[in-house]
Amino acid sequence: MSLSRFLAGRPALGRAMSSTTAQGDADFLQSVEIFFKRAAGLTNRSPGLLENIRSCRAMLHLNFPIKKTNGEIVMIEAWRAQHSQHRSPQKGGIRYSPMVHAEEVQALAALMTYKCALVDVPFGGAKGGIKIDPKEFNERELEHITRRYTTELSKKGFIGPATDVPAPDVGTGPREMAWIKDTYEALHPNSLERAACVTGKPVPMGGVRGRNLATGLGVLFGIREFLRINHGNATGITEGIKGKTFVIQGWGNVGSFSGKFMHEHGGKVIAVAEYNGAIYKEDGLDPELINRVKESSGSILGYPGAKVLKNGLEALEIPCDVLIPAALEGQITLDNADRIKAKVIAEAANGPVTAKAHDLLVKKGVIIIPDLLLNSGGVIVSYFEWLKNLSHVRFGRLTRQVEIKAKEEIVDLLENQFGRKLTVQEKGAFAWGADEEKLVRSGLEDTMIEACANVHRVAHEKKCDHRTAAYLISVEKIATDYEMAGIFP
């Protein structure tokens, strides 16, 4: 279907891309709790245990002043929620956004608890947020805010390798994580494990190779596995990424890497939406060119030859095989769910579909790959980084040369057996050892394959949708932890 035909048959949208939910719809926190209660209703666990799993353990609310370079004093509001302490440390990102509020942080922390349990990462869920627009502060001011926030977290026991480990989220990245690490180390100079206080760091500061693309790579693995397992259902979706059309909302770290991987595997990205509009090209967009356009102009809207939609939300309604919301929560609501024409919704963001929109879409037969599964690549690789920091050994350092030499011996044996010498290129293609990034990718892929299979199996056994199945797996795992501890027999 051409874009002009599509737009001619749709009503106008009255709001730009935001996390505002429709009247009568559930907000982010309410949606998470609705999904939890549905899954809890399929268990035989006691009400007291279920309430213990659902409840947020601790919420830190901070207000502190900072002085800007122009001399102005501004008050900064921030939060850190620790949802579950069934396992330690707690784990979750820190976002910088003017839309951050307490309920959002609490919802994200709860989602992190269920996400970690689903993919067998031994953390409890946490989340942090600072209510600022990063564009309104220069680098020196952002550093001051980040270091002050870290200091306040440290004073209250809300950061540490064994207690609570932050990571990047919306509006933050390796730079902010480096500031957090440096501040924590200054406050705890005698801690041998202090580098593990935060993940998502630059590699020279203890980060792990492959962390920057982890969430997007997890999106690739999750979509690939769901298309393999669920092809041929009522939507008519076929197996494999090759030849599929994709619409992506959000071209930040997660969205851009998701688009890159879909393109590399033969998929066609036909539309990309951001806060200030969207671009559409029926014969496909080049992710690398999108990156260059955005880097040079600060916006994707200058992509050559693409049609521009002034309202980014309109792109969500373009017919496609897979829609990837990779921006903020509450993007698909009762306002627009009935107009979604994707066969699959792959939730690369946290909470992009509200509870009531979810119900409407499932009723229509849309496959929804839930956020707590598809968005888990970041925390999986953060777990690997945490382990690396605790062990003080780079992945592959002890085994890579052993692997290379073992394979070289096999090559020598085959050459002697068959009387043909391999070229240098042929030997190099065979005789290699896994470095850190290869091992990280392997661990992420293996984790995603197993988690996708488990979600599909439980959905089939319980005759429920995939989101309910994912929550159910998480609830049962957390409940078992409490039982093993003797807290709730």
**What pLDDT, on the 0 to 100 scale, is given for residue 72?**
95
CA gap 181, 357 in Å, rounded: 40
Which residue among 115, 127, 294, 343 is the active-site one? 127
Span 267-299, pLDDT tens digits:
999 999 998 999 999 999 999 999 999 999 999
**What pLDDT, on the 0 to 100 scale, is given for residue 488?**
62
Span 147-200, pLDDT tens digits:
999 999 999 999 999 999 999 999 999 999 999 999 999 999 999 999 999 999
CA gap 28, 1 in Å, rounded: 33
**What pLDDT, on the 0 to 100 scale, is given for residue 232?**
56
Q: How many CB atoms lie within 10 A of CB 108?
A: 29
Question: Predicted confidence band at 407 (pLDDT cuts at 50, 70, 90)?
Answer: confident
Cβ proximity of 81 and 105 under 8 Å: yes
The CATH code of the domain at 3-22+214-377 is 3.40.50.720
Span 117-149, pLDDT tens digits:
999 999 999 999 999 999 999 999 999 999 999
The percent of residues above 70 in pLDDT, for the chain, comes to: 93
> pTM of the full predicted structure?
0.90
**What pLDDT, on the 0 to 100 scale, is given for residue 6?**
44
Picking from 213-227, 235-249, 343-357, which range would have the lowest pLDDT averaged per residue? 235-249
pLDDT at 432 over 80: no
Domain 57-205, CATH number (from 2.60.40.10, 3.40.50.10860, 3.90.1150.10, 1.20.120.420): 3.40.50.10860
pLDDT at 17 over 50: no
User: Per-residue pLDDT averaged across 430-453, rounded?
Assistant: 88
Residue 127 a catalytic site member: yes
User: Per-residue pLDDT averaged across 219-244, rounded?
Assistant: 84
CA gap 91, 84 in Å, rounded: 10
Give the end-to-end CA distance of the chain in Å, rounded to a whole number: 57
